[in-house]
Chain A
Amino acid sequence: MASCENPENGADALMPRTRKYDKSKICVKCKERHGNIVARHTVYCRECFISFFTFKFRRALEPYVNAKPDGPRRKALKPTGNLLIGYSGGIGSAVLMDLVYRHYVHPDSTIVTSEGGKAHPRNERVWEKITVCYVEVSDALPGTKDRTTEIQNVIDQMDGVEFLPIRLQDAFDFAWWNKRGFCPSDPTLGADFSDELLQVQATLTPDIPPLTALRLYLASLPTASALPTAVQTLVRLLLQYTAISMNCSHLLLGTSLTSLAISLIAGISQGGGFHVREEAQEEWLPNCLDTGRAVRIIRPLREIGMKECGVWAWWMHLPIVGREKWHWPGTKPGIGRLTKDFIIGLEKDYPSTVSTIVRTCGKLAPKGDTAGKCVICERPVQTGVQEWKARIAIRASQDEQATWANSSTMTPSLAPYLCYVCLTTFTSKGARAPPPLYSDDSDLGHGLSPLPTWTTSSRLFRAHGTLTVTEDITPDEDEFTVARKLPRSEMRDVVKEFLLDE
């Protein structure tokens, strides 16, 4: 757009404008109609865009509906349980909800056609019960507004789906937890976030209101960047436990390709390299349940960019409620925010790069074995994380390492049960502490932070009597790369190799 020269004088040859589409303005599919939308260099007319869009959605979801993943030939869709949809209020979740509705609740014959030429519009319901769950975070994040009613109004327009609003503090609501029949949880257990070992004591008063407990937990975080990470984990686990309590075999999230690239890069730069696979798709078995029922977490928009979602939302007249930013007031934008700005800017100039990031991350096979699951985020813990962390921790003296190794016989410590991301979220301090998160910062916990219900009830955490520290583990270079925190200045280098010649 820099050049405004008249094309006749040949200036275009000297300074070509970056064109966002490949060859012509005619749709690549039907090769007849004038294109309406450019999706990563490819031109589609409106009709062909709609079938392309629904195809991508179905391809990312339907092979994973039956318990055994299907091959290319599709059998009838018979999930073993109900469906839970996580609704955030953002465009992705609105588009996801719309697609589920048009495909599996009230099949829309204008868009749902069967492939293979045979016209038999499916009209059987795939999931017996579909619930839309919204996790309201406004009580915990200063300056955000409660959107429950607005979202309720949107979902109420869709018959055949149920709306279930929950609140972030439910993660600390032991009554909520026990009502759902999970194994008993101990509300008196808290962890000392100011201590790198995250020592655990059973000295909290058992009747701390859930919102107070949540606020104590968030206010104990050492950095502003830790806040969105911690909130994201609480939201995800609340959705997962809600799903399992409602006999859901599937949990769908409205993460688009763009959002997935953001969470992958932000995750890796915060030490989450070991979880790249779970960011895309995950078969989750709760730490605290004996039944062996798993929830399959799927992001059916993971191949569809935010731009395409925006166009779909516009063409389908979807109401977008919007969502709040999870920001620590009075602090600079955190890693998540910076990554988002960076990826969205990148996507504008290099539309293919974002899908390359996601595809490349999909090929990453994290090194190292899994040593159980984290008691906070319930994702795999990489073996050796604690030993490695102990070795590099500046304040870790010989004595402290000894304490660590013997912690099970002394004061129990949370650290050995955490993945690297959660360990970092709780213990990695910034150059200076953020301002108090809440103005009425009363300390009910005597320095202890309450823990989510699933953490204190985790069999792993309760039953593990011993912690073994293998002295001879030396993390190799690759593990170091995966786990290391990346400063903002290096972020561009991380994705540099993904930058394509457009």
Chain B
Amino acid sequence: MSQSTLSIKVEFGGGLELLFSNQRSHKVSLPSHVPTAPPDANTTSEQGKKESGRPADITYLMYWMRDNLLKEREELFIENGTVRPGILVLVNDTDWELEGEGEYVLQDGDEIVFISTLHGG
């Protein structure tokens, strides 16, 4: 039952893909539990201090994306340990606010969508 890696589909909408090599859909594999050694030393400063070994949640996914996918300008994606205001997140087509936001524990095969609304109207 417990897997060592999770396969997650990450998608971007509203122009957020521009921060991620302009690729709208990413298939990512990440550890099912937060590794003891953070993938990046920077991680320790904010989220890394949270217990390592916990099941991978969306917050972990965000930092994993920052370290592995984000090409530029982290501040346009992450702010104060969560997504920047104006970015909404869907977990399997459901608002993450109904799923515990960053604390939602990822399941194998989950589809996580990040949509920017900051392009104005």
Q: Please give the residue numbers on chain A whose beta carbons come within 8 Å of chain B beta carbons, in ascending order.
A: 1, 4, 20-21, 25, 34-38, 43, 46, 88-93, 95-96, 254-256, 258-259, 301, 306-307, 309-311, 313-314, 320, 322-323, 340-341, 344-345, 347-348
Asked whether B117 is an interface residue with its Cβ less than 8 Å from the other chain, the reply is yes
Taken residue by residue from 91 to 121, chain B's Cβ proximity to chain A (1 for < 8 Å, 0 otherwise) reads as 0011101100111000000000101111111
Indicate if the CB atoms of A323 and B98 lie closer than 8 Å. no
Given contacts A1-B103, A88-B121, A92-B121, contact A313 B94 (CB under 8 A): no
Residues of chain A lying within 8 A (CB to CB) of residue B50: 4
Indicate if the CB atoms of A36 and B120 lie closer than 8 Å. no
Chain B: which residue is nearest A341 at the CB level? B85
Chain A: which residue is nearest B97 at the CB level? A20
Report how many A-B pairs have Cβ atoms within 8 Å: 94
Chain A: which residue is nearest B15 at the CB level? A322
State in angstroms the CA–CA spacing of A258 and B54 once bound together: 37
Residues of chain B lying within 8 A (CB to CB) of residue A91: 14, 117, 119-121
Chain A: which residue is nearest B82 at the CB level? A1
The 8 Å CB contact of B13, one of A88, A259, A314, is A314
Asked whether B39 is an interface residue with its Cβ less than 8 Å from the other chain, the reply is no
State in angstroms the CA–CA spacing of A407 and B88 once bound together: 55
Asked whether B86 is an interface residue with its Cβ less than 8 Å from the other chain, the reply is yes
Indicate if the CB atoms of B95 and A306 lie closer than 8 Å. no
The 8 Å CB contact of B86, one of A4, A43, A89, A344, is A344
State in angstroms the CA–CA spacing of A17 and B86 once bound together: 20
Chain A: which residue is nearest B57 at the CB level? A4
Chain A: which residue is nearest B101 at the CB level? A1
Complex A-B: 27 CB contacts under 8 Å: A1-B103, A4-B103, A36-B93, A37-B94, A38-B97, A46-B93, A88-B121, A89-B119, A90-B121, A92-B120, A95-B121, A96-B121, A254-B121, A258-B117, A258-B121, A301-B121, A306-B86, A310-B88, A310-B116, A311-B95, A314-B13, A314-B14, A314-B90, A320-B14, A340-B120, A341-B85, A345-B85
Given contacts A91-B117, A307-B88, contact A313 B98 (CB under 8 A): no
Indicate if the CB atoms of B97 and A313 lie closer than 8 Å. no
Asked whether B81 is an interface residue with its Cβ less than 8 Å from the other chain, the reply is yes
Indicate if the CB atoms of A310 and B13 lie closer than 8 Å. yes
Given contacts A21-B98, A301-B121, A306-B121, contact A344 B85 (CB under 8 A): yes
Residues of chain A lying within 8 A (CB to CB) of residue B93: 36, 46
Indicate if the CB atoms of A1 and B121 lie closer than 8 Å. no
Residues of chain A lying within 8 A (CB to CB) of residue B82: 1
Q: How far is the CB of B89 from chain A (nearest CB, A)?
A: 10
Indicate if the CB atoms of B86 and A313 lie closer than 8 Å. no
CB neighbors of A among B4-20 (8 A): 13-15, 18
Q: How far is the CB of B33 from chain A (nearest CB, A)?
A: 15
Indicate if the CB atoms of A310 and B120 lie closer than 8 Å. no
Residues of chain B lying within 8 A (CB to CB) of residue A301: 121
State in angstroms the CA–CA spacing of A256 and B117 once bound together: 11
18 more contacts with CB within 8 A, not counting A310-B14, A320-B14, are A1-B82, A1-B103, A34-B94, A35-B95, A37-B95, A43-B98, A46-B93, A254-B121, A255-B121, A256-B121, A258-B121, A259-B121, A310-B116, A314-B14, A314-B115, A320-B15, A340-B120, A344-B85
Chain B: which residue is nearest A35 at the CB level? B98
Indicate if the CB atoms of A320 and B88 lie closer than 8 Å. no
Indicate if the CB atoms of B14 and A259 lie closer than 8 Å. no
The 8 Å CB contact of B117, one of A25, A34, A255, A309, is A309
Indicate if the CB atoms of B121 and A36 lie closer than 8 Å. no
Given contacts A21-B98, A36-B95, A310-B14, contact A320 B119 (CB under 8 A): yes
State in angstroms the CA–CA spacing of A179 and B13 once bound together: 41
Chain A: which residue is nearest B99 at the CB level? A25
Indicate if the CB atoms of B117 and A310 lie closer than 8 Å. yes
Name the residue in A43, A96, A310 with the highest tally of chain B Cβ atoms < 10 Å from its Cβ: A310
State in angstroms the CA–CA spacing of A348 and B83 once bound together: 10
The 8 Å CB contact of A88, one of B98, B101, B120, is B120
Residues of chain B lying within 8 A (CB to CB) of residue A38: 95, 97-98
| Top 6 closest pairs, chain A to chain B, by CB | A92-B121, A90-B120, A310-B117, A348-B85, A20-B97, A306-B117
The 8 Å CB contact of B97, one of A21, A255, A258, A309, is A21
Residues of chain A lying within 8 A (CB to CB) of residue B14: 91, 310, 313-314, 320
Chain B: which residue is nearest A255 at the CB level? B121
Residues of chain A lying within 8 A (CB to CB) of residue B118: 344
Chain B: which residue is nearest A96 at the CB level? B121
Given contacts A25-B98, A36-B94, A43-B98, contact A313 B115 (CB under 8 A): yes
Name the residue in B90, B94, B113, B120 with the highest tally of chain A Cβ atoms < 10 Å from its Cβ: B120
Residues of chain A lying within 8 A (CB to CB) of residue B98: 21, 25, 35-36, 38, 43
The 8 Å CB contact of B119, one of A37, A322, A341, A345, is A322
State in angstroms the CA–CA spacing of A195 and B15 once bound together: 43
Taken residue by residue from 1 to 45, chain B's Cβ proximity to chain A (1 for < 8 Å, 0 otherwise) reads as 000000000000111001000000000000000000000000000
Residues of chain A lying within 8 A (CB to CB) of residue B13: 310, 313-314, 320
State in angstroms the CA–CA spacing of A132 and B121 once bound together: 15
